[in-house]
Amino acid sequence: MEQEKQKKMITILVPAYNEEEVLDMLYERLKTIMNQNTKYDFEILLVNDGSKDSTFEIMQELRKKDKRVCYLNLSRNFGKETAMIAGLDYCNGDAVVIIDADLQDPPELIPEMIKYWEEGYDDVYAKRKSRKGESWLKKYTSKMYYKVLQSFTKIEIQKDTGDFRLLDRRCIEALKSIRESQRYTKGLFSWIGYNKKELLYDRDPRAAGKTKWNYKKLIDLSIDGITSFTTSPLRWSAIMGVIVSIAGFIYMIAIIIKTLISGVDVPGYASTMVVILFLGGIQLIFLGVIGEYLGRAFYETKGRPLYFIERYNEVKETNKNLNEPRNLL
């Protein structure tokens, strides 16, 4: 009995939005892994991110038949990034495994993650060897995005990795201490550092249902990633402004010299309009870049809580002190 009490706990964190078709399948596969690994205690923490289908009701049914299942019901849809930090705030484990509900990431990789955690690694992350079920366009744009992001930042960004990973408790506490409202968790995993280990795997297609990530959401996430980790776009805007100004000045001098030499004005209404439209477009782009950074500063200065909890398991939450990381230990 004494030995049982000293078992470490591992939390399996599953953010979910409209995943009624896969939750039961996910639970069965996770249950098999938990039952086979008797060295640790487990909890499955399901975070319902304002689902419109019966996701929350399925979570409640799973808890009724297995008390290792816990659920966190957010008051509305806050987005996956916020759902993950809410789960980290409420997880009880000495380590946490973050996994999507759609079964594209195989739960059977969890025992290998635990093995490397036992060897002393703090962040055991899964890197995709292949991405089945994804279009060539999505693969190509993802590849180019990470190239651009890496060129802008000094922090080494993990390529072809998602949120599927095991994190030690000190990584959990580090992430909990970062209370940014515009979150880019994939970058934060790299930013916090600690001892990391890579696992290669083949990513499967979704087990059921449809992906919640359309191109608009992916573009929003990519902009958050760039603006969260570097001010290089602002610097490049300034450099481009200087280059365009110098080019405009040289063009102006050339026109003046030609006019003085030839004695006639240089015709070119069309070229003048092209230059005006080009410069106007450049200015609007630069204003948009500045606006993105100002918008982030505006949201952060409000100091709003990252999320509100409707209930944790069977208990309705009062949502007190949500600006502070929740300490369950």
pLDDT at 2: 45
pLDDT at 254: 72
pLDDT at 286: 73
- Kind and range of the H or E element at 211? none
Instruction: For the beta carbon of residue 17, count every other beta carbon within 10 angstroms.
Output: 20
pLDDT at 277: 66
pLDDT at 11: 92
Backbone phi and psi for residue 70, each to the nearest 5 degrees, phi listed first: -120, 155
- Kind and range of the H or E element at 241? helix 232-262
Binned average pLDDT, 10 residues per bin, the chain of 329 residues? 67 89 88 88 90 88 89 88 89 90 86 89 84 60 64 68 87 86 78 84 66 58 64 68 71 70 61 68 73 71 80 72 56
pLDDT at 81: 85
Show the tokens assigned to 296: 């982030």
In angstroms, how far is the first alpha carbon of the chain from the final one? 21
Using alpha carbons, select from 125, 136, 133, 142 the residue that is nearest to residue 185.
Answer: 125
pLDDT at 200: 85
pLDDT at 12: 92
Model pTM score:
0.68
Burial of 306 (0-12, 13-18, 19+ CB in 10 A): middle
CB of 70 within 8 A of CB of 41? Answer: no
pLDDT at 287: 75
